[in-house]
Chains A and B, each alone.
Chain A
């Protein structure tokens, strides 16, 4: 019953700059732990995109005091699967453990984060895994379409346009020293956000975190500078023929806004109406429900530190590619010309506000929410203020967001799959 008075997590900032957030819940006898460092793929060194991805595969494979086999035993004997996730800006260690294991597990995770040893043999093994994963991506139309879209929306080596895993050539050339250097450069307490949610007293959790991370001393890394995002000025269409596949994937998108843009909530609501609400919003109504063309179609908005993308994705049979793209064009044109209706706005708003308790039900979901809240500086009462932020959006603002973001004449359209249509039309 946390929502009525808000999550209200206990927040402390350690002397070394690390931020610690704890939230006590009693849903299950378990604790979700999320350790995020502001050292995502956007901080890859120049000329070595993919270095941070490989780092994320190796960081948990040995520390100054623990060999990889000991870590494996410590995790497995407690039923814990550790996941290391990498986004453009965050490098995050995530796991859920039983409450009884909380303290030793936080200590173990802290050791990995602060003192990884990058054993040579582990680097070699994980490189083989990453190269195989890149080869799998090369054979996956959905991945090919999306990565190509990002490369075209964010050209010229912009970090948002790069493949997170890098290329086979770059991965093959990476060394243990490269990973150690990346860790030494970007990992520091000033970049760390520790979030713990679950069946543990929040004071005890914060004290444990202070004990684990308090002694860490490192200077803050230089701030990351992102090149400016330049919106497309003309339509571009790219075709990646993959004739060994049964279905084509379409990725269609634009650059939009940064997360801190005051128009964010208008964009969020507009996108929900357009490509999210129920089964894919207006796009789902048209392409899946009315025309039966696709099993999936939707749009997503990823407003980020810099201007993030709005991406429309659909999977269609090769004979329906042109019709599906024409339908997306048509829906955008109608949305920009006529706007969404007050009822659509109200429906989406009611849905988004009503879904907050569900979105904050599990420990892992709350931990993820608190990480986002802290990363973007949204405030500890963000979950309480969110309904008001959504309520304040007017129909004019939502429609202004559509006009600002969407225009078929400036769309970047990528098709990957058993399709050889023209690369550029009109």
Chain B
């Protein structure tokens, strides 16, 4: 069972004992992601994440490396639209060290100007690496087209011009505003004693002063009034199709129903952003798979619906089989989606989707790292209670609820259709 505690400075702490392996995982989450960025500073959340691995007041730059490795541990972090997070997983005797690192990261990072400058080119290299992948490029452009007001529209990596012009002061100011205990959640899962762990948390974090609560964005994406379309025509070898629908946030009633619909259309993925997509979904009998892959129109299909703080996108994607006319794939995909919207799903499909989701939620939590991720992720977008309630919400979905979600979400005026249409490589360049 997870124990939830709030320190006086506002830091939320979640501890769950898991004694199956002599390991502990510590994640520190911040309620700041790319949706909190204003024009001119897109990508700042992610760049700040990179800077927070470059030494602190009490961890010299050249001693960052090795501090967790000496315990055989791994560490990393990521930034997405709602959150920035850091973790270490190592043998349980490293718990103190992990808490020390995260406390230092919260309060005492250095932001040396030379490091900021050097990281600029690393991040631009990361952006360019992403652009090498046409599917990723299409995803970025589709999202930017689907949203016209809400900051979910810009990519987490940021726009190139902002990355070229951002200053050290921009980065440091952003760090100081958002990295305060009252904007964070610390999660500990593993072979630990909860009371002892909480005492060490208080030791390391108790003295960090709270800050002003960061301002939250107020923009609500207006309802989409008609289908949007985009086509990227670039040199390449393969065509890709993506259809994005504005989707409910994780707290809205339709969210669980839409998870079921996604499972029916493309197979269940689970809801762990860190691990769910590493194992392909069970999808051979899924509706879109049968309509596109089994017919030879597409070589793959996928669906993406993640829990988010505010309404984001439910995206369906297909890779067009070599030599297939694009229109045939587009028509088959939209016909299939429209049929599900018109006819709903059957009792048998509902039962299978629920069985898949039940299994995937088990697989989502197969390690201390993954369990800790899930607790922190949900607490950051809303509340850890949302995580514990999800299996029951899925179990309660009925064919009528799924039909209502399909009716509301899968309507043509709510969608953006994006193509990557390859032009012959080397012609006219």
Contact B132 A140 (CB under 8 A): yes
Contacts of A277-326 to chain B: CB distance below 8 A: 277-279, 285, 288-296, 315-317, 320
Q: Which residues from B are CB-within-8-Å of A202? A: none
| Stretch from B118-126, B375-383, B398-406 at the A interface | B118-126
Interface of B is mostly: mixed
Contacts of A218-256 to chain B: CB distance below 8 A: 242-247
CB within 8 Å for A3 and B296 given contacts A81-B267, A81-B282, A352-B72: no
Query: Size range of the interface on B?
Result: 35 or more
Q: Does A6 contact B (CB under 8 A)?
A: no
Contact B426 A1 (CB under 8 A): no
Q: Which residues from B are CB-within-8-Å of A350? A: 69-70, 72
Q: Which residues from B are CB-within-8-Å of A351? A: 69-70, 72
CB within 8 Å for A28 and B362 given contacts A129-B300, A136-B237, A243-B429: yes
Q: Does B101 contact A (CB under 8 A)?
A: no
Contact B73 A292 (CB under 8 A): no
Per-residue 0/1 for A323-367: is the Cβ within 8 Å of any B Cβ (1 yes, 0 no)?
000000000000000000000000100111111111011111000
**A278, B20: Cα distance in complex, Å:** 26
Q: Which residues from B are CB-within-8-Å of A361? A: 21, 23, 367-368
Contacts of B40-99 to chain A: CB distance below 8 A: 64-66, 69-74, 89-91
Contact A317 B121 (CB under 8 A): yes
Q: Which residues from B are CB-within-8-Å of A139? A: 134, 236-238, 422, 425
**A277, B74: Cα distance in complex, Å:** 10
Contact A347 B66 (CB under 8 A): yes
- Residue of B118, B128, B294, B300 near A317 (CB, 8 A) is B128
Q: Does A75 contact B (CB under 8 A)?
A: yes
Q: Which residues from A are CB-within-8-Å of B187? A: none
Contact A362 B284 (CB under 8 A): no
CB within 8 Å for A132 and B322 given contacts A139-B238, A355-B72: yes
Per-residue 0/1 for B235-274: is the Cβ within 8 Å of any A Cβ (1 yes, 0 no)?
1111000000000000000000000000000011000000
Q: Which residues from A are CB-within-8-Å of B132? A: 140-142, 245-247, 417
Contact A30 B90 (CB under 8 A): no
Q: Does A169 contact B (CB under 8 A)?
A: no
**A222, B396: Cα distance in complex, Å:** 56
Q: Which residues from B are CB-within-8-Å of A13? A: none
Q: Does B156 contact A (CB under 8 A)?
A: no
CB within 8 Å for A1 and B22 given contacts A139-B238, A317-B121, A358-B90: yes
Contact A354 B19 (CB under 8 A): no
Q: Which residues from A are CB-within-8-Å of B234? A: 244
Contacts of A14-38 to chain B: CB distance below 8 A: 25-30
| Stretch from A66-74, A174-182, A400-408 at the B interface | A66-74
**A29, B365: Cα distance in complex, Å:** 11
CB within 8 Å for A73 and B69 given contacts A315-B129, A361-B368: no
Q: Which of A139, A279, A364 has the most CB of B within 10 A?
A: A139
Contact B280 A81 (CB under 8 A): yes
Contact B122 A295 (CB under 8 A): yes
Q: Which residues from B are CB-within-8-Å of A138? A: 237
**A355, B89: Cα distance in complex, Å:** 10
Q: Which residues from B are CB-within-8-Å of A244? A: 234-236, 425, 429
Q: Does B299 contact A (CB under 8 A)?
A: yes
Contacts of A182-196 to chain B: CB distance below 8 A: none
**A29, B267: Cα distance in complex, Å:** 21
**A135, B422: Cα distance in complex, Å:** 11
Q: How far is the CB of B52 from chain A (nearest CB, A)?
A: 14
Give me the interface of B with A, judged by CB distance under 8 Å.
Answer: 19-23, 64-66, 69-74, 89-91, 117-129, 131-134, 234-238, 267-268, 279-286, 293-294, 296, 299-300, 319-322, 352, 355-360, 362-363, 365-368, 422, 425-426, 429
16 sample A-B contacts, Cβ–Cβ < 8 Å, listed by A number = A1-B19, A1-B22, A26-B20, A27-B20, A27-B367, A81-B283, A135-B237, A140-B132, A242-B425, A244-B236, A247-B129, A289-B118, A347-B70, A353-B72, A358-B23, A361-B368
Query: Contacts A79-B282, A351-B70 given; 5 further ones with Cβ under 8 A?
Result: A244-B429, A277-B69, A278-B64, A358-B23, A358-B72
Q: 3 closest pairs, A vs B, by CB?
A: A354-B72, A79-B359, A72-B284
Give me the interface of A with B, judged by CB distance under 8 Å.
Answer: 1-4, 25-30, 68-69, 71-73, 75-81, 83, 96-98, 124-125, 128-129, 131-133, 135-136, 138-142, 242-247, 277-279, 285, 288-296, 315-317, 320, 347, 350-358, 360-364, 417
